[in-house]
Amino acid sequence: MSVSSTERLNRQLQEVQSEEFEEWLKSTGSKKGGSIDSESFDRVGSEGDDHKIGTTEISRESSAASKRGQLRRSVESSYEDLGGLLEKISRVSEARKTLFQTGIKSPWKYSPASELEERKMTVSSLDHEIEMEARRFKNRMKTVNKGWDKFTTKQNALIEALGKLDTLIKDCKCKRDELNQTFITESVAGKQYSKTVNEYKCQLKILNDLMSKTEKRVDNHHMFEDLLREVKEQSGGEFKSIREVIDRAFILESIRRRLMDWERETQEEYRFSMQEMVRINDRSRKNIWKLSGTLTEACVKNGFIANQLKIVENELEMKKESKQKQNMVYGQLQHAVNNLHIELSRHLRLKPKIPASQPDEQLKSIEKLTDKLRAFSEDISKNAATRSDEVAIEVDTQALEKKRLRYKM
């Protein structure tokens, strides 16, 4: 009985320390049997400030996250198996102690006291080994939980950064609309200014023509009279003398100079405004591209979180189905145990006397009963973990529910 229990325990431990688990530990920099490296959990979201992350780095982050999920599932399943083995060994030990006490009190004891003591010591040593292994697994689970908390912190920081990113994008769009409106307003003002300048140029052209004709004809009196008459005709009677024309010419010249100065200043201001607008547009375009890269990275990580949520929900459904199946198996096992207890009690109540003429038949009957008890003990060894697995499934279901709520946040 103790040899088979030891073999099953070794097989369970070998499954925990499989090749896939060892390869993952080597890839993350941890050693076999030691604590899990918490830096592997810090990789998620640690490069969120780098807006030029590439496709290769994103795929590397996804593979690392999948390996972390495999590690957690492997440790949890190993812990469940260890709890089941511990419960199974304790139940087997109780059943065997009951059988040993019955064998000692009965006048037909089957095994000597030394063999019973040896078996008790073997069971005690197995219980001690299983308890030590359980403590080591609990320490590993604590390390995994610490890494998981760090991952949750990074995830919350990423969500907050996404909110800030959306606000910054909206501000950039508002500034861009304001710049476009300013550009349209300045364009309309520039057109009006050009129209006014053209009107003044036309008036100056007329004045220059009159001044040139006046300078050519000022020496000739007749020409002067003709010029005066022509000026009156062209001005519609507005100018009555050459002095008025000259005064008006000086006024228009000063106006022309001021208009030229104003035109030059306006052109400089307009050129400076255009340069400033181009510079702001370039800076806004760079910020938008940079923010787009960060948004793409955030979308990829959100997709990874959604995949993890689906995996957790699938595991939760599988655990619920396994719980129903184990309840059915436990009921069948309980029924078989009750029947065997009834048969054993009936056999012990009869207590037949040993005839001197038939000692062999009574010995065979006791051997048959012992075989049944041995079969019953092996059956318990195979199926005693159902009730403990039920408790472990309930605990694991609660953990998966918490994990699912954490992902949905």
Give me the tens of pLDDT residue by residue for the chain, a chain 409 residues long: 444 555 555 555 555 445 444 554 455 444 444 344 444 434 444 444 444 444 454 555 566 667 667 666 766 666 666 666 677 667 666 766 665 565 444 444 445 566 667 767 777 777 777 778 778 777 877 877 777 777 778 778 888 888 888 888 888 888 888 888 887 877 777 777 777 777 767 777 777 777 676 666 555 556 666 666 666 666 666 656 666 666 777 777 777 787 788 778 878 877 887 788 788 778 877 877 777 777 777 777 767 767 777 777 777 788 778 777 777 766 676 676 666 666 666 665 555 544 444 545 655 665 566 566 566 656 655 655 555 555 555 555 565 566 556 545 5
Distance between CA 15 and CA 78 in Å, rounded? 8
* Exposed/middle/buried for residue 98 (C-beta within 10 Å: 0-12, 13-18, 19+): exposed
Distance between CA 114 and CA 112 in Å, rounded? 6
Structural domain ending residue among the three candidates 290, 317, 336: 290
- Asked if residue 163 is part of any domain, the answer here is yes
> Do residues 146 and 23 share a domain?
yes
Taking the whole predicted model, whether its pTM rises above 0.85 is answered as no
Distance between CA 165 and CA 253 in Å, rounded? 58
> Do residues 103 and 214 share a domain?
no
Distance between CA 348 and CA 327 in Å, rounded? 31
> Which amino acid does the sequence have at 17?
Q
- Asked if residue 202 is part of any domain, the answer here is yes
- The b/e string for 264-279 (b: 16+ C-beta within 10 A; e otherwise) is eeeeeeeeeeeeeeee
Is there a contact between 25 and 145 (Cβ–Cβ < 8 Å)? no
- Asked if residue 231 is part of any domain, the answer here is yes
Structural domain ending residue among the three candidates 238, 267, 290: 290
> Do residues 155 and 208 share a domain?
no
Sign of the CA dihedral 134, 140, 146, 151?
negative
> Do residues 295 and 389 share a domain?
yes
Distance between CA 32 and CA 240 in Å, rounded? 114
Give the structural domain span for 383.
Answer: 2-174+291-408
Best CA proximity match to 324, nearest among 400, 397, 405, 399:
397
Q: Which spans in 43-112 are helix H?
A: 55-105
Best CA proximity match to 24, nearest among 68, 78, 77:
68
Residue 229, token pair as written in the block: 């008459």
Is there a contact between 406 and 152 (Cβ–Cβ < 8 Å)? yes
> Do residues 282 and 302 share a domain?
no
- Asked if residue 182 is part of any domain, the answer here is no
Q: Give me the number of domains the chain comprises.
A: 2
Structural domain ending residue among the three candidates 234, 264, 290: 290
* Exposed/middle/buried for residue 9 (C-beta within 10 Å: 0-12, 13-18, 19+): buried
> Do residues 96 and 234 share a domain?
no
Determine phi and psi for 34, rounding to 5 degrees: -95, -170
> Do residues 204 and 105 share a domain?
no
> Do residues 142 and 206 share a domain?
no
- Asked if residue 183 is part of any domain, the answer here is no
Best CA proximity match to 385, nearest among 51, 6, 89:
89
- Asked if residue 60 is part of any domain, the answer here is yes
- Asked if residue 145 is part of any domain, the answer here is yes
* Exposed/middle/buried for residue 175 (C-beta within 10 Å: 0-12, 13-18, 19+): middle
- The b/e string for 32-56 (b: 16+ C-beta within 10 A; e otherwise) is eeeebebebbebbbeebeeeebeee
Q: Which residues contact 25 (CB under 8 A, 6 or more apart)?
A: 31, 32
> Which amino acid does the sequence have at 340?
L
Distance between CA 157 and CA 140 in Å, rounded? 26
Distances (CA, A) of 338 to 341, 342, 347: 5, 6, 14
> Do residues 316 and 248 share a domain?
no
Is there a contact between 93 and 137 (Cβ–Cβ < 8 Å)? no
Q: Which residues contact 173 (CB under 8 A, 6 or more apart)?
A: none
Decide: helix, strand or coil at residue 233: helix
> Do residues 6 and 107 share a domain?
yes
> Do residues 37 and 135 share a domain?
yes
Distance between CA 80 and CA 77 in Å, rounded? 5
> Do residues 255 and 344 share a domain?
no
- Asked if residue 97 is part of any domain, the answer here is yes
Quote the DSSP letter at residue 358: -
Q: Which residues contact 76 (CB under 8 A, 6 or more apart)?
A: 141, 396, 399
